[in-house]
Amino acid sequence: MKKLKHIACLLLIVTTFNSCSVYNFTGTGKIDAKTFQVNYFQNTAELIEPGIDRTFTLRLQDLIQNQTNLSLTNSGGDLVYEGEITDYRISPMTATADQRAAQNRLTIRVKVQFTNRKKEADDFEKSFSFFYDFPGTNLPTGAQLTTALDVIFERITQDIFNESLAKW
């Protein structure tokens, strides 16, 4: 009887760990791909902020590397992310009594083409955008711009990840 309990306990443990190979905490489930590549996202917006194209490309690479076991490659990846930054816009959101902006909003839009060479049904082309509000007396430069880009790129890259890999 004691031996039967040990076998049942062992079977329960093996079954539990075996099922963990299908699901993980990022929600990516089982991915057939082994590699991914993130091509350079060129900034084609009318208003150009230097360096955000490189920053965005690196942030997307880092997010995928940190949340999956996929290997980054420069070419021939099983999963391919490419696209462009299509919009970088600063808009007044509220005005003061003397017609000055009390609050501004920085909005960035990124167009993404995702290709899954292992499963073509997962391919998509879609735009992702997010914003950051800041006081009208400030300009999006220096630390203000860094904070804004951190918030915006964190949201956009996570949305891209969820759309392409997280199959809840």
In the prediction, which pLDDT does 5 show?
56
In the prediction, which pLDDT does 32 show?
83
Q: Averaged in consecutive runs of 10 residues, what is the pLDDT profile of the chain (168 residues)? A: 55 47 46 92 95 97 96 96 97 72 90 96 96 86 92 98 85
In the prediction, which pLDDT does 18 show?
46
From the list 43, 113, 122, 36, the residue with the least C-alpha distance to 71 is: 36
- Enter the tokens of residue 144: 């203000």
7 near 48, Cβ under 8 Å?
no
In the prediction, which pLDDT does 137 show?
79
CA 138 to chain centre: 27
Query: In CATH, what number does 31-164 get?
Result: 3.30.160.150
Q: How big, in percent rounded to 5, are the helix, strand and coil portions of the chain? A: 35, 30, 35
Q: How many CB atoms lie within 10 A of CB 50?
A: 7
In the prediction, which pLDDT does 138 show?
80
Query: Can you give the residue ranges of every domain in the chain?
Result: 31-164
Residue with tokens 């489930």: 29
